Structure 1
Amino acid sequence: MVTALSARRPARPGPPALYPCTITHVRRAPKRYVLRHRTYLWLVDLDHLPVLARPLRPLARFRARDHFTGRAPSIRAALDGFLAEHGIDLRGGRVLMVAHARVLGHVFNPLTLYWCHGHDGGLRCVVAEVHNTYGERHAYLLHTDAAGSATVVKNFYVSPFHPVDGHYEMRLPPPGQRLRLSVTLQRPDSPPFTALVHGTRRDVTATALLRLSLRYPWSTLIVSAAIRFHGIRLFLRGLPVQPRPGRRTSESAS
């Protein structure tokens, strides 16, 4: 049996791990609409990214160019650079990331999460990196409470049906046997928009990865296509499109 990269299997619920999950978007205004799809996410340690047996590598790759500015030599270096801009030094502390891997050459991560620990092992902060379908990226620095909750002002264009205003209420407890995440957009005089992620942990084995890859083929491409497809449906149902501010390139994530 082929497993991901480490000769010593990490104790549960440590990384690497797979989370088959359901992602749900609930829009309450101006028309109620629910988008639900199934996929799978990875939990990885940024200092010990999984390396699969050669035949399986096209099913899971983690590339620095897919995160933050895309110019750093590693995802960890990119994250440390972002944190340094905000006066945070983890001093080599552990970072756990939940994200889609690059599958068959394609990746799209609407939301990548990083739980950042200090040298003493304590959680220092959480970083939420958002990608939109226009190829732009933005990262939010969050200081979560004991329940994993934080609030942050929205300042990045994501959906063409929401302007850049309001704030996010995020609940991002560290992943364990279950992955339970929620992001709620609160806007003035408007019902909230909510995104939910619910998943259950699986060990990383060749069998588990192959099963998920067959069950959700081209998983990241399908996520991207589903977002666009449902955007078209909302447009056809009469939802007004909000103008997009000046382009934010991947070079300006902050």
Structure 2
Amino acid sequence: MTRARLVRTVIRHSRREPRRHLFAYRSYSWLVDLDEMPSLRWPLRLFADFRTGDHLGDPSATLRANVVDHLARQGIDLRGGQILMLANARVFGYVFNPLTVFWCHDHTGALRCVIAEVHNTYGERHRYLLPPEANPVVAKEFYVSPFNPVAGHYRLRLPVPGTRLRLAISLEGPDGRSTFDATVRGRVLPANRRNVTRAILAHPFETWRIAARIRLQGLRLWRRGLPIVPRTPHLSQEALP
């Protein structure tokens, strides 16, 4: 079917302040080479459709061209190297990607940088450009949860997946204390017909379910009395020179 891979994942969120709140759920994502984007036959295409406009950049270009252009603006030239993307696909016309990760390699195969593209439930998105070091730290610049201000920094572990995926993100406040942790772990499998069908049967409306689950957890936190941090408009990176 495709040379892409599936990742059967377990996603965990742990909030420490101002209220402890934990939840976890099973899901799946796609791990694809931007030079070999999957193109599934109907009816599986209903559960796995990839569109450039679902990510930052020119929707009329390719995903690879947009990533390469973004890196060129930062003075990075991959010289044709591989770009791997971890993301959700559209399911019945809808997609929500809380986090998309791009691992960007140069022509020698060396990892040059990592892009963490974050989407919130307000239709906004933002890219963090990270060095290839094991545990980069980056200032928080984007409103995600209505219960967290745009302050502090993220400490990330985003190693290139092999047979296993092990991602971890920790939000640390201005005082250095961790207030929120998220992990994504799972097995990397070939995206053959058997594995794709199993994933679809286990999670038939997955992107819809992810968005609903995030909103439900937010409602639970609001009912527990967590104050809402006002959201300021976010200037899309597509609008930046």
For the aligned pair, the TM-score class normalised by the smaller chain equals over 0.9
Q: Match for 1:246 among 210, 230, 233?
A: 233
Number of the residue aligned with 1:217 = 204
**Cα pair 1:61 1:103 within 8 Å, conserved:** yes
Gaps of 5+ in 2: none
Query: Alpha-carbon deviation of 1:243?
Result: 0.9
Gaps of 5+ in 1: 7-15
Matched, 1:160 2:146: yes
Matched, 1:24 2:12: yes
Query: Alpha-carbon deviation of 1:214?
Result: 1.2
**Cα pair 1:112 1:130 within 8 Å, conserved:** yes
RMSD (CA atoms): 1.5
Structure-2 change in CA distance of 1:60 and 1:185 (3 Å) = same
Per-residue Cα deviation, 1:7-57 (whole angstroms, up to 9, x for no partner): xxxxxxxxx111111111100111100121111011100011112223311
Matched, 1:41 2:29: yes
Q: Match for 1:150 among 119, 125, 136?
A: 136
**What aligned pairs does 1:4-83 form with structure 2 within 5 A after superposition?**
4=2, 16-83=4-71
Structure-2 change in CA distance of 1:21 and 1:163 (3 Å) = same
Q: Describe the SS at the equivalent of 2:43.
A: helix
Which residue identity lines up with residue 90 of structure 1 in the other structure?
L
> Structure 2 CA distance, aligned partners of 1:118 and 1:242?
40
Q: Match for 1:195 among 165, 169, 182?
A: 182
Q: Describe the SS at the equivalent of 1:133.
A: coil
> Structure 1 CA distance, aligned partners of 2:45 and 2:148?
37
**Cα pair 2:78 2:104 within 8 Å, conserved:** yes
Per-residue Cα deviation, 1:67-122 (whole angstroms, up to 9, x for no partner): 01353411111111111111111111100011111111110000000000011111
**Cα pair 1:139 1:253 within 8 Å, conserved:** no
> Structure 2 CA distance, aligned partners of 1:252 and 1:109?
21
Number of the residue aligned with 2:90 = 102
> Structure 1 CA distance, aligned partners of 2:109 and 2:164?
21
User: Kindly, what percent of the aligned residue pairs are identical?
Assistant: 49
Matched, 1:206 2:193: yes
* Aligned structure 1 segments of 4 or more residues deviating by more than 4 angstroms: none
Number of the residue aligned with 1:10 = none
Matched, 1:234 2:221: yes
Paired positions, count: 240
**Cα pair 2:170 2:178 within 8 Å, conserved:** no
Q: Describe the SS at the equivalent of 1:92.
A: coil
Q: TM-score, normalised by structure 2?
A: 0.95
Q: TM-score, normalised by structure 1?
A: 0.90
Structure-2 change in CA distance of 1:214 and 1:238 (3 Å) = same
> Structure 2 CA distance, aligned partners of 1:224 and 1:253?
28
